[in-house]
A and B are shown apart, each in its own frame.
Chain A
Amino acid sequence: MTRSIIELETTQEDHRVARIAAAAIALALVDSAIPLPLPGIKPGLANIVTMFVLARYGWSTAAWVTGLRVVASGILLGHFLSPAFFLSVAGAVASLAVLAFAVRLPDRVFGPVTWSLFAAFAHIAGQVLLVRLWLIPGNGVFYLVPFFAAAALIFGTINGVITARLLGDTGSVREFGAQNA
């Protein structure tokens, strides 16, 4: 029997995506470990990574990182292909779509806090829509919208500030780059 070695050609970009996705997955796990009163509400710390990557490397890298994070954290948390997984996909798709627009806003006026708020609200909007259309076809879910909106406001602002801090902080960016090299 001959041993065959399959070698995948990987680019610098692949390595970068994998490394950052690993960070995002770790944050997604931390996210799910934080207890919060309402199901469906979580800090969304992993979105900090998405926005950081969006600002540094562009939208397609951010989309890759987010996609990998959603799938891998779904497998790790045991909800892969369950309704919770599809909720996570819906939120990620909605916030990525909105981020593609938000990142094009004038740089001087709108910063990471704006992106983060947009992404957080898009995230809950995507999830609520999916719940309404597929999981619980009734208007009952809209009762919870105020709570989701308040959570999006609070966590969106906090995550935006953290992202702005990370991006403005040249020291940590260099560190990040050094790890990549």
Chain B
Amino acid sequence: MASVFSTEAPAPDPTRSASAPFSALSLFRPGDWFVFLAACAFCLVSFPLAWRGGVAEKLVVRQGGRVFAELDLSRASRIDIPGPIGTTTVAVEDGRARVVSDPGIHQYCVRQGWLERAGEIAICAPNEVSLEIAGSDKVYDSLNY
């Protein structure tokens, strides 16, 4: 293969003198071509593999037991969820999510702070809103397990 591109033999000659013309392709040994092509193939394959949708982690927001919204954690956003006693505001920032405000009395879900890891949950029971981080690798749900 190398000989197509260069006039020198593909196998490098260890005794080649310093004055020999520089030909990069002649420095490839047969196996090097194989490794090079495998590396090229890996690069090509890595684009669709890394960029398919499944990699991104997302936040699942439920209201009254139904999925209200699914938010991409890699994009900052803020949504208002209407419930029986008012509006719950949820914010996504820097790959994590939290309840910004909630009409409930105890404010448990607001005080819980940022949810960062897959499987983390915040529940605003009075307003029937729940947040869950859904990741590619789901950890055990210790509430149900």
Contacts and interface: CB of A to CB of B under 8 A. Distances in A.
Interface of A: 105-106, 108-114, 117-118, 121, 138-140, 142-146, 149-150, 152-153, 156-157, 160-161, 164-165, 167-172
B29 A170 contact: no
Given A150-B43, A164-B27, A170 B14 contact: yes
Contacts of A157: 36, 39
A113 B39 CA distance: 11
Nearest to B47: A146
B56 A161 contact: no
Contacts of B35: 110, 113-114, 117-118
B15 A170 contact: yes
A165 B28 CA distance: 10
B29 A156 contact: no
B39 A143 contact: no
Interface in B11-65: 11-18, 22, 24, 27-32, 35-36, 39-40, 42-43, 46-47, 50-51, 55-57
B104 interface: no
Given A113-B35, A149-B43, 9 more contacts: A109-B30, A109-B31, A111-B12, A111-B27, A117-B32, A118-B35, A139-B135, A142-B50, A142-B55
Interface of B: 11-18, 22, 24, 27-32, 35-36, 39-40, 42-43, 46-47, 50-51, 55-57, 73-74, 95, 135-136
Contacts of A149: 39, 42-43, 46
Residue of B16, B32, B36, B57 with highest tally of chain A CB at under 10 A: B32
Contacts of A164: 12, 27-28
B24 A161 contact: yes
Contacts of B39: 117, 121, 149, 152-153, 156-157
B32 A160 contact: yes
Nearest to B14: A168
B50 A111 contact: no
B55 A111 contact: no
A118 B13 CA distance: 23
A113 B43 CA distance: 17
Contacts of B51: 143, 146
A10 to B, nearest CB: 31
B46 A145 contact: yes
Nearest to B38: A117
Contacts of B74: 140
A165 B27 contact: yes
A110 B31 contact: yes
A156 B22 CA distance: 18
Nearest to B136: A139
A62 to B, nearest CB: 19
